[in-house]
Structure 1
């Protein structure tokens, strides 16, 4: 079992600090973001946990982080719940029978699946206990690395932690579960003068009627949330918080990578004033009231709101209709305006305009070369 560790550093003079969270095995996206922010070895680089799972480059991501740390003492990697839970599942014999279930649930990618591929193990034929031992032996060097990672990093005016801290003066005594798994930190807050910077939950979860993966800087709560949903959300981005400081003075800026194709409006698209409805975690269950050819009339179970949902977004989970990251917003456009294309669904396109996500008819768009 991995243990909580606390590191405290004080930087005197000018510095630049880049903070990235929840890479989730998307190494190519991570490298592209480092290039975009012009990362250099004299920068401080802080990775806020959950750098593995949910993507196809888990082992490669760990090795790349180790390479970065070997090249610079200013790189800090913080433990997230994914690293903690994976090590516990592989290390503890009582979880041997859960490994196959875990693989079926997460789909492609992840450290265990990569280990199985390297070891040529067929999960349908191998004994669970024997398989767990083989995986543990293969992943031992990675788990040894995880054991060196802190759960908290204090850095000048900031506290960096994966999920959050408990709202108490002796916050250093927060449970490991709170530090890496807390789901309510943005709501419960903290009582410190410093900013607490977290990942763990996609920032889009904090918006009632919009899908927005941008970094949230809440000056009143002194909370900065930076998880852009990579590997978790169907619409996502990988964010970087950039802190430019001089002692206790600092400025904040942000950058992101969102690899989506660009399209341009070929006509003006006017829409009437509308009330926007959103379906996303944790209120993702709906009841289908009337099935339509393109859109179905549905009721969001948690809120009781009734609105139309594009049929392709509906799926069954435990005999209940669900969907993720959906808004019924119709996007207004001016001719020549450039947007990002999320997907094409029949005659409609799901697009992003200035961090707003919604629908427009596909025939109103053309691809930007």
Structure 2
């Protein structure tokens, strides 16, 4: 069990702080966004948790972060996924073995891999197919991955630097008195911005994808709550089909939120819009916190499309068929917003996907459906 451990940094005036979170096994995204931010030895880098899982290269990402952490100007914080995998791999309790076996059964299919499976592949062990095989493989993983697991187990959960506090998911009340207590309250504080009070210092948190704080559009840029003094930076990398990895740029630890900027990387190809499109505001935004739907009978809306009713709002909508999935015996819809942004002919956009609904594009961190033609830049 990880306990809350705080680290306080003494950063000279005028020295930049870069902060990223929720890399989720996307080491190539991390390298790209740090390149865009111009990261160098004269900066401080804070990696704000969730290094691994829900992405294709967990072990490679973890080892890259471990190499970065050897530098005196790099500081890594634990995230809930990092802590959770550490517990699953390190525990011999039957329920943990069962949870690990269930997780790795879906991880390869859904995200392309997991830390545990990466270790297995490196050792030449086939993917475990049962709880017994998982338990046997775990004994070998614990030995083989000793350095990596030790690194995860020793990570702090809060880093303080001047006027800024960095924590993976959020700060509960009286957090200053929680040193040495179980770390879950700061590793998994869902919907932190809406459930917290305000802070004297700026709190930088990840964990909760920023698009969940917005309902009119699907936007993945950092969310600045100036009333509460909170910056949320999880751009949905690896979790959302149109997500990105954000890098916050703080010019001075003694500065304010108003001076903070950011850059991002999403890995999507750049395209040029051939046709213009007028803005059409969103009628509905389905998010995973409220995504139960039912199929509606009747005429098909088109090849590759399905007609649904969103159970909570009773809204009828049409979505791509591959947005549907089942969880806990209930039909659900992947994150979907029917917003159409204004696009001018000749503008550059990023192409997320093309399908029966048209093209899902991004511009300035905002996603939109687009029904015009695109051509490569």
The secondary structure found in structure 2 opposite 1:283 is coil
CA distance in 1, matches of 2:92, 2:236: 32
CA distance in 2, matches of 1:7, 1:196: 14
The secondary structure found in structure 1 opposite 2:151 is helix
Which residue of structure 1 aligns with residue 275 of structure 2?
267
* 1:293 matches 2:293: no
CA offsets 1:10-36 (integer angstroms, 9 cap, x no match)? 324221000000111111110111111
Which residue of structure 2 aligns with residue 53 of structure 1?
53
Label 1:184 to 1:336 Cα distance change in 2 as closer, same or farther (>3 A). Answer: closer
User: Where has structure 1 moved over 6 Å in runs of 4 or more?
Assistant: none
1:252 to 260, 264, 268: 260
Kept in 2: contact 1:266–1:336 (CA 8 A): yes
1:200 to 195, 204, 207: 207
2:164 to 158, 162, 165: 158
Kept in 2: contact 1:169–1:191 (CA 8 A): no
Q: CA deviation at 1:169?
A: 6.8
Which residue of structure 2 aligns with residue 75 of structure 1?
74
The secondary structure found in structure 2 opposite 1:59 is helix
CA distance in 1, matches of 2:236, 2:357: 27
Label 1:86 to 1:306 Cα distance change in 2 as closer, same or farther (>3 A). Answer: same
RMSD, aligned α-carbons: 2.1
Kept in 2: contact 1:167–1:188 (CA 8 A): no
Matches within 5 A, 1:104-253: 104-107=105-108, 108-122=112-126, 123-124=128-129, 127-168=133-174, 170=176, 172=178, 175-245=182-252, 247-248=254-255, 251-253=259-261
1:334 to 307, 321, 344: 344
> Which shows bigger deviation, 43-52 or 161-170?
161-170
Q: CA deviation at 1:63?
A: 1.8
TM-score (norm 1): 0.92
Q: CA deviation at 1:249?
A: 5.8
Which residue of structure 2 aligns with residue 316 of structure 1?
326
CA distance in 1, matches of 2:123, 2:365: 43
Label 1:60 to 1:355 Cα distance change in 2 as closer, same or farther (>3 A). Answer: closer
* 1:91 matches 2:120: no
CA distance in 2, matches of 1:319, 1:8: 46
Label 1:30 to 1:170 Cα distance change in 2 as closer, same or farther (>3 A). Answer: closer
Q: CA deviation at 1:248?
A: 4.8
CA distance in 1, matches of 2:185, 2:87: 17
CA offsets 1:253-273 (integer angstroms, 9 cap, x no match)? 1100121122222233346x5
CA distance in 1, matches of 2:39, 2:142: 34
Kept in 2: contact 1:285–1:321 (CA 8 A): yes
The secondary structure found in structure 2 opposite 1:183 is coil
* 1:281 matches 2:285: no
Structure 2: runs of 5 or more not aligned: none
Label 1:171 to 1:223 Cα distance change in 2 as closer, same or farther (>3 A). Answer: farther
CA distance in 2, matches of 1:133, 1:20: 33
CA distance in 2, matches of 1:223, 1:164: 9
CA distance in 1, matches of 2:177, 2:293: 39
CA distance in 2, matches of 1:68, 1:326: 36
Label 1:208 to 1:172 Cα distance change in 2 as closer, same or farther (>3 A). Answer: same
The secondary structure found in structure 1 opposite 2:252 is strand
TM-score (norm 2): 0.90
CA offsets 1:159-207 (integer angstroms, 9 cap, x no match)? 1100111134746457511110110311122343001110011111111
Label 1:318 to 1:246 Cα distance change in 2 as closer, same or farther (>3 A). Answer: closer
> Which shows bigger deviation, 294-303 or 111-120?
294-303
Count of matched residue positions in the alignment of Structure 1 and Structure 2: 365
